[in-house]
Each structure stands twice: as structure tokens, then as C-alpha cells.
Chains A and B, each alone.
Chain A
Amino acid sequence: MAATVRTVLSRVLPQSGALAASLTAGASSRLPAATSTLLHRCRSTGAPDEVVTLEQFRPETSSVPSTMDIGTRRIFTEDHDIFRASVRRFWAEEVAPNHTQYEKDGQVSREVWLKAGEQGLLGVNTPEELGGIGADVLYSAVVWEEQMYSNCSGPGYAMHSDIVMPYIQKYGTPEQHERLLPAMVAGSKIGALAMTEPGAGSDLQGIRTNAKKDGDDWILNGSKVFITNGWMADVIIVVAITNPQAKSAAHGISLFLVEEGMPGFKKGRKLEKIGMKAQDTAELFFDDVRLPPSALLGQENRGFVYLMQELPQERLIIADMAIASSEFMFEETRNYVKERKAFGKTVSRLQTIQHKLAEIKTDIVVGRAFLDQCLELHNQGRLDSNTASMAKFWASDLQNRVATQCLQMHGGWGYMWEYPIAKAFVDSRVQPIYGGSNEIMKELIARNIVT
């Protein structure tokens, strides 16, 4: 019991720089006096009868009415709940009503980015000194999860705040921080990350976009495709070869900050995808773009190292969104089958449907337990790339299985675009592909097993 208590208390860690020392602090020294009110006795076999206070007893998603309920999951605190309630409202009131229009336009509006900035939904994990909100990564997770719960895949806030901004924050110069981060937190500058090219996706080392030195400047040439937020982006981190003679491609890659308006930089078109219709994924072209020395992000030829360091968070985001989307699809389907009638009773009375729902819920709850573990580790700075890869491939595969089964349970209506399950289904298909395809994830995991 004491061990459980300590694990549960570990979620009360300070934001950045959480260390093992906090984990070993005595339980009584960290619970505020007021919360020692007896509210629940834990009765588990063999465990001593110990008092469990309210602050400790946060139920997991397996035992509450809805897997999306606020006030669940021990990795979160009441403050996360307060934030989650207002984020949920934001997605429901500011984004969802316009989402159909965004799908028609193939992009969201500038206003919704600015509104998100106003509400403090962008740059959540960016330190306060650099103009961000300075909250821990679990608050960022609340934003990703609520996006999936609202089924609005259009806005690329997660890419912007939790993939692009960390690169600038960690490897940027003070000048770059000042110029870009506050505007990105406000939503007036939108960020994107350009790695994939028409000829190279998984094979990142096979990219052809290159930057050649010209005096102090760089001349950038090449193209990128499938870039999230690409059409609306104001600042793009471009991965380019800077040393073609390096011993391996990985040692000759650098990151550049290319901004909208630079001569030679053109956005091709918004790509027509089978899902995520409101997301402005685009292709980008660089035609002798002159980049000043201040456009280099980090050190020359160290780009690959930076990418390897940041990819675990990117994979964690995809995995967490996968489980959250599965939770949404499950709840949506459960509500549908309880209403839909067939053969004189509701579809939810059919045993085949009931067993299917039981299987799906169990899979989701098990997946959620692993994801919460990964989120907690990441919050402590202890999530390794291997574990993140496992989470990414397993969760995205689960999401697709759940999507297929849930759509099936909707019957003909599941095939109709107006039904949320249909959109969630097509949106889920890209998850096993981007952020590092699942095949590559298995490659990485296997390396640790057999060497």
C-alpha cells in the first residue's frame, strides 16, 4: 500500500527538473493537512486497512461511467481537471461548430489560432522565461486528448506547441527565442516541421533538400511534402543536407528556420487527403532561398542528433492521441448502440455487440494504463525513445482496430460522412504512418532486443 501511495504521490512532482529526490520524500511531508480527511477505506486482499484520502483516490478510466470523465487518472491533479474542463469547453464552443466549414476550406481559420493563444492553449510546456505558460507536459497532454475527444483534427496545435516550439526552445539562440516564441504562444505565428520529401519519408537519410554556404548565408534548394500546418505556417523548421561529403548522411544534416515571405520559398498547394480534411497539410518548395546566418537552428551538421532527441515526444503525442481517439470512438459507439433499434430491441442487447464492446473497452483501458505510465515517465524526463516507439506503434494499431470495429457497429450510418465515427475512422488511418511508420518503430524496438 505504501508503495502504491508513493507511486500515486509521484504525480505531485514539480514541473521542470523533477528529480528522484521528490519520489523518496515521506508521504506525510507532502500532503497538505486539509486533505487528510478520511473518505475512503481501501479494501484489497492482504493489504493492511489504510486510510486513503481524497487526493489519492483518483479512479482510473476502467471503473468510471465514461472513459473521458474529468477527475480520473492518478497522473493528473485537480488543477489539471480545472484546465481540462475549460479546454473541453474551448474545443466544443470555438472549434467544433466551425469544423465542417474548415473541412470544406481544407484549413482552419487564423482566428481559431489566435483564440487558442488567448486561452493559453499554445506553448503550454514552454518555459515562462521564454514567453510560454510554463506548465508541465501533462497540461499539454490535456490539450491533445481533448482535441481527440472533440473529434476536431483540423487545428495542428500539438505539432506547433509540442513539436516545433521545443526545437526552437532547446536549440535556438536568444534572438530566435525572442523573435519567434512569444508570437507562437499568442498564435500569431504558426509553426511547422518539414522533414519528409516526395522521395524520402522513413528513409530520412535519403533526403535531397540541401543548403550550400554562400559567404555567411546559406542557399536552400529542395522540396518537402505532407507538412502539417504547411499551408498556414509562418515559420518552418526545414531539415536539409549541409555536408554532402559527411561519412554518413546523418552527420551532414542541419535544421533551418525558414519564414513565410522569404524570396524563393513557395507553398505548393494544400494536399487532398482521405481524412483530416480540415488540417492544412501542404507541399513546400525552396528555390534558391537565401537564408541569413540567423536562420540556422542549433549547430551546423548536428540536425540529426536534435531530431533523435525530440522524436520520443512526437511519438508520445501520436500514441496519446491514439488512445484518446479510441476512447472517443468507444463512447460514441456505446451511445449509438444503446439508441439504435433492430429486431425489436436496441442493438446494445445483442450479445455479439456486447462482447465486442467489452473487448474494445478492455483493450483501450489497458492501452491507457501504458500511456499514462509513458506520460508520467516523460513528465519526469525519463521516457526513452524505445518505450515511446512501443507506445506509438501499439496505440496507433489499436486505434485503427477500434475504428474499424466501431464503424462496423454503426452499420450503414457509420459510412456516412456526417457521422463522427466516419471522420474518426479516416483520421485514424494516418496514425500508423506518420511520425515514423510502425514498421520503423518495430525496427527500433528490435535493435534493443537483439543487440
Chain B
Amino acid sequence: MWPIFDYGRFVSIISSSDVYGVVWMRSLAQLHKMANLRVLVGVKRVIDYAVKIRVKPDNSGVVTDGVKHSMNPFCEIAMEEAVRLKEKKLAKEIIAVSCGPAQAQETIRTALAMGADRGIHVEVTGKEYENMTPLHVSKIMAKLAQDQEANLVILGKQSIDGDNNQTGQMTAALLDWPQATFASEVTKENDHLKVVREIDGGLETVKVTLPAVITADLRLNEPRYATLPNIMKAKKKKIAKHKAADFGVDLTPTLEVVGVEDPPVRQAGQKVESTEELVAKLKDSGVV
């Protein structure tokens, strides 16, 4: 018997049964490594999804002062997935990260109440915060993933304010790690993760080796309530504070927002009596 064992990217052929014992221990070690993921979860503080957005009078952005904020819904789903991995004993530690002003700590505390073990707050304020882009955030996340020796990064697929859908992908590229975005199902299989992705044409299943970056889509899970006992426990958990410079990241803006406007007001339509009239009107307006 010439068994072939897959150690991540390496394939070894064991030729002697004397070495069988060593190989068995090694694959246990692999299993042990699988059962000890350190997960980094990004949580973003955004304007609450139920709030009616108003554009600032000078068209430079949207009104955020005094407006209700909460955790980005996709980040909640990412956080929930990390907690489920921990409950299945596949993850040993969950670190919640947020980049933003002081109020971002509230978002981290919510993540702690959901089950994260500790938090990291990268303080970014004022104009730097307004001009922060996914590229800046992914540089910070990548450096953090390396510093914290994380082997899984889970992010929401996009934030409901920027809608960029870039941070996960950029972070993976900077780390040179495989990525599985728009995840609607994540299962552990031997030494890799099987991820079902939601794509335009349907569902795609991919296999990613670890370490990896996953971004959460809507149907990945249903986030839990933060129960009061967990909120009380969260009070004792630590949130470490850093600045972007600590990670060697320069927050100089790479993009300039020229203007922000309301979508055009919906115009009244016209009612037509017959198909002929419809076609005539379409021809007149130059649409066809």
C-alpha cells in the first residue's frame, strides 16, 4: 500500500509501513491545526440600514451626525460564522477588528457580545476616516492577519455604505492567500474548506486551502441575538487600540469624492391606450 497524504500544498508518498505511525501522528497534527483556527473578523460601523439617508447640503457626502449607526449586516453574518466555527471546535480564537473613530468601539463590543474573544480598534478619525477606502482597510487587515498569526479572515462581502465589495478580495491578494467570496456555506473537509459561493449564474463550490479569506453573503447564516450573559462577559474582554501608522499604512487618500447627489426624482410616466400608440411614442422619443 502506497498511501498518499495531502499536507496542504505538499504531497508526500510514504513507502514504508514503518513510517505509518509517524504519518498518522502528522495527520493528527494537521487535524489539530484545523481545530485551532485563529479567525480575524472585520466589523464595520455603518449608518443603520433602516435610516433614511440624507445628502449634505454642500453635496460633499451624507449626513452622519446624530444618525443611528450599527454593525454592517454582512459583518454580523461574518461574525456569526466565526462564532459557529468556534462552537464546532474548529476555531480557537476570534478577534474582531474595526477601523474608525471612537464610536467603532461600540461595534467591536457588539462583536464581543456575540462571541469574539478580543477586539482590535484601529483608530481613524476626521478627514482621514472620511477618505478611507477599501485599499487602506485591506492593507491594515493584511498586516493584522500576519501580526496576529491568523489563518482565516472572514469579512462581510460589502458594506452597505460604500457597497465597494473590494476589501475581502484586496486583503487576500495582499496576503497572497486564496479567497472564497460571496460564501453561502462553509464546511471543513479534511485540511481545507469547502465553500459554496453565490454567483450570477447560480452556486459555485470551491475548495480553499488555509490560510484563506472568506467574505460572507446574505444566506450564509442568521446572526444570533447578543444574550445578556454574553454582554456581561464582553465587558471583561479586551479591546486593543492602534493607529494605522502602527501597521505602516499611509492613509493619504487615493480617491477624491467630487460630489454626492440624491438619485434623480422619479418622473411621472405616461399612460397610453394602445400598443400602436406605445410604439409611436417610443419611436418619437428616440428610444427605438
A residues engaging B (CB < 8 A)?
34-35, 37, 39, 54, 59, 69-71, 78-79, 81-83, 85-86, 89-90, 118-121, 124, 133-135, 139
Contacts and interface: CB of A to CB of B under 8 A. Distances in A.
A121 B113 CA distance: 15
Contacts of A133: 228-229, 232
A83 B234 CA distance: 12
A109 B105 CA distance: 38
5 contacts: A34-B241, A54-B103, A78-B106, A78-B109, A82-B109
B225 A89 contact: yes
Contacts of A59: 66
Contacts of A124: 228
B188 interface: no
A83 B109 contact: no
A33 to B, nearest CB: 9
Interface in B62-107: 66, 68, 70, 101-103, 105-106
A204 to B, nearest CB: 34
B46 to A, nearest CB: 15
Nearest to B113: A82
- Which has the most chain B C-beta neighbours within 10 Å: A83, A124, A135, A139? A83
Interface string B99-131: 001110110011001000000010101000000
Given A78-B109, A82-B110, A139 B228 contact: yes
A83 B102 contact: no
Contacts of B68: 69-71
Given A71-B68, A82-B109, A34 B228 contact: no
Given A82-B110, A82-B113, A37 B228 contact: no
Contacts of B225: 86, 89-90, 119
Nearest to A124: B228
Contacts of A86: 225-227
Contact of B228 (A35, A81, A83): A83
B75 to A, nearest CB: 15
A127 to B, nearest CB: 12
Given A86-B225, A119-B225, A37 B101 contact: yes
B235 interface: yes
B218 interface: no
Smallest CB-CB A-B distances: 5 pairs: A86-B225, A120-B228, A120-B227, A37-B102, A86-B226
- Which has the most chain B C-beta neighbours within 10 Å: A69, A79, A118? A79
A254 B151 CA distance: 63
B173 to A, nearest CB: 32
Nearest to B105: A34
A251 B99 CA distance: 64
A82 B116 CA distance: 15
B226 A83 contact: yes
A3 to B, nearest CB: 25
Contacts of A83: 226, 228, 231
Contacts of A35: 102, 105
- Which has the most chain A C-beta neighbours within 10 Å: B121, B226, B228? B228
B235 A79 contact: yes
Contacts of A78: 106, 109
Nearest to A55: B102
Contacts of A54: 102-103
Nearest to B121: A34
Given A37-B125, A78-B109, A119 B227 contact: yes
Contacts of A134: 232
A34 B123 CA distance: 9
B72 to A, nearest CB: 14
Given A82-B226, A86-B225, A120-B227, A135 B106 contact: no
A34 B102 contact: yes
A54 B226 CA distance: 23
A89 B223 CA distance: 12
Nearest to A33: B241
B98 to A, nearest CB: 13
Contacts of B106: 78, 81-82
Contact of A82 (B121, B229, B231): B231
Contact of A120 (B102, B121, B229, B234): B229
A136 to B, nearest CB: 10
A71 to B, nearest CB: 6
Nearest to B102: A37
B15 to A, nearest CB: 55
Nearest to B228: A120
A118 B227 CA distance: 8
A70 B234 CA distance: 20
Contacts of A81: 106
Contacts of B102: 34-35, 37, 39, 54
A134 B232 CA distance: 9
A54 B123 CA distance: 15
